[in-house]
Amino acid sequence: MRDAEGIKVVATNRKASHDYRIEDRYEAGIALTGTEIKSVRAGRVVLREGYVQPRRGELWLVNVHIAAYDPAGRQGHDPLRPRRLLLHRKEINRLMGRMQEQGYTVVPLRMYLKRGRAKVEIALARGKRQYDKREAIARRDAEREVRREWKERLR
Residues 6+ apart with CB under 8 A from 75: 35
Q: Specify if 146 maps to a domain.
A: no
pLDDT higher for 21 or 129? Answer: 21
For residue 25, what is the domain's CATH number?
2.40.280.10
Residue 128: pLDDT over 90: no
Q: Say if residues 25 and 13 touch (Cβ distance below 8 Å).
A: no
Number of domains into which the chain is organized: 1
Question: Is 24 within a domain?
Answer: yes
Q: How far, in Å, CA of 144 to CA of 86, rounded?
A: 40
- Say if 152 falls within a structural domain: no
* Residue 62 within any structural domain of the chain: yes
Any domain includes 151: no
CA of residue 35 relative to chain centroid, distance: 20
47-62 pLDDT, tens digit each: 988 889 899 989 999 9
Residue 2 maps to a domain: no
Owning domain of residue 11 = 7-127
> Domain for residue 132, yes or no?
no
As a whole number, the mean pLDDT across the chain is 86
- Whether residue 145 is contained in a domain is answered as no
